[in-house]
Amino acid sequence: MKKYLSALFLFFIFFVIYYSGSFSKIPFGDCVGFVLDAEKGKLATIATATTHFLYINTVILLKNITGFNGIEASRLLIVSSGAATVSIVYLTVKSITKTEWASLTAAFVFGFSFSFWRNAEIVEVYTYNTLWVSLFFFAIIRSFTENKKQYILWAGIFLGISLWVHIQNILLIPAFLVFLFYFKSEKKYFYPSLLAFGLLFASLFILNVTQGLPFKSPYSSDQGTWVDDSFKKTFIQYLKDFIQSLAYLIYNFNVFTFFGVMGAVFLYKSNRKMFFVFLAASLCVYGFSTFYAVSDNYVFFLPFNVIFALSVGYGLAHPKYAALKKVSWICLLIPLGYFIAYQSVLQTEKGKTFHSFKKYKGGLNYYMLPWMNGNEGILEFTIYQKTAPEPVNWMTVSAVEYIKLLKSKGYTEEEIKKL
């Protein structure tokens, strides 16, 4: 029972952290498009790579139940999902390590990791998606560590559901198949798990095809050629992408990056089967996220970051690092580390130049500090008809439509500027 109390404690701690630091105004990026769809209240009926069927419909359902507007319903879902994911990371590490301090430390490290913290404070699909992915990993580890084989079935269900949130999770299918291979003798759970996943996956195609969409619609988009562009880079560009991915990793996990690496080494030595399941997941997700030709590719690393956080916990729990228990509180200083890094970069000429160039959406604050309270808003930017030194029309188009919708509901321009 104690481990569940700790998980509940973590949920409330991070719910308060994420909610108190959550965006003051609708941020730049895809946020305004999601809030617009939520405010319209029209349920999604197709599941393409950009509609995020389960996410938007969950927000609308929550909006209808609570009576909140699209912004607050979205905030509640994201903050709750973020806090719940931290608790699941804790429970997952505890399941494999049986070590309380290492599990708590890994949970705090993940909860404070830049990419996840940032996404838990804006209106995007990735936090909700990470919740389902973390449940998938939880079921996998429970299948290996607990004498409860029903988790084999739950792994298939959670992965299948996650595809309805974000199609990127097809990258976890190889890991799922490796996982099932190791449990092929458990026929009572092996076949139902495979069937549950297969039905959930196939339903994406059935839903779209019956509405006249092409067969490939669940994993394709007419809004960009990002996948094709990912294969057209030069060797130097690929090398830069890889170096950037390492920078992301270190910025997310700081000194704990070392323990994440060691955790993978220890797992390889102690449990090869589990190691190869997570290796398959890591290679697919990390490789795709590294070379995917979009400017905000850092968000696609989140499923890998969950794996790495689990590895951090496994590394810390190794007997050779038992003495670190006394200084595990250092993970609470991670927010201070972001502030120091931000101030350091801001003192450099390149930092000042970048801060000025990106000032329209918050400058370095937006890129180096995970908390979003007091942020620049896309609606205010659009109402004042401000300009940016780079294309933002794909955001302002949704902002204009959202502003019109709010005005039709009686909002004044002054009230909208504050949203």
Each residue's pLDDT tens digit, 233-250: 788 888 898 999 999 999
Average pLDDT, the chain: 92
Judged against a pLDDT cut of 70, whether residue 261 lies above it is answered with yes
Q: Contact at 8 Å (CB) between 164 and 47?
A: yes
With cut-offs at 50, 70 and 90, classify the pLDDT of residue 223: low
SS3 295: coil
| Spatial CB neighbours of 224, under 8 Å, sequence gap ≥ 6 | 294
Residue 294 confidence (pLDDT) above 80: no
Contact 103, 94 (CB under 8 A): yes
Distance, in Å, from the CA atom of 85 to the CA atom of 96, rounded to the nearest integer, reads 17
* pLDDT band, very low/low/confident/very high, at 228 (cuts 50, 70, 90): low
Taking the C-alpha atoms of residue 113 and residue 305, their distance in angstroms, rounded to an integer, is 9
Q: What is the per-residue pLDDT across 127-150, written as a single tens digit (0 to 9) for each?
A: 999 999 999 999 999 999 987 889
pLDDT for 1: 64
In this structure, are residues 312 and 217 in contact, taking their beta carbons and an 8 Å threshold?
no
Banded pLDDT at 61 (limits 50, 70, 90): very high
pLDDT value for 315: 96
Would you place residue 30 in the very low, low, confident or very high pLDDT band (cuts 50, 70, 90)?
A: confident
C-alpha to C-alpha distance for 404 and 418, rounded to whole angstroms = 15
Higher pLDDT, 184 or 232: 184
For position 222, what pLDDT does the model report?
Answer: 65
∠ CA 156-63-68, rounded to 5° = 145
Query: Tell me, what's the pLDDT at 51?
Result: 87
Would you state the pLDDT for residue 147?
Answer: 77
Specify the higher pLDDT residue, 236 or 273.
273
- Whole-model pTM? 0.95
DSSP annotation of 44 reads: P
The pLDDT score that the predictor gives to residue 257 is: 97
- For residue 293, the model assigns a pLDDT of 67
Lowest mean pLDDT among 13-17, 263-267, 274-278, 363-367: 363-367
- The model's confidence at residue 388, banded by pLDDT at 50, 70 and 90, is confident
pLDDT band at 217 (very low <50, low <70, confident <90, very high): confident
**Average pLDDT of 4-22?**
95
**What pLDDT score does 227 carry?**
67
pLDDT at 2: 63
pLDDT in tens, 148-204: 889 999 999 999 999 999 999 999 999 999 999 999 999 999 999 999 999 999 999
Round to whole Å and give the CA distance between 59 and 380: 24
How much of the chain exceeds pLDDT 90, in percent? 73
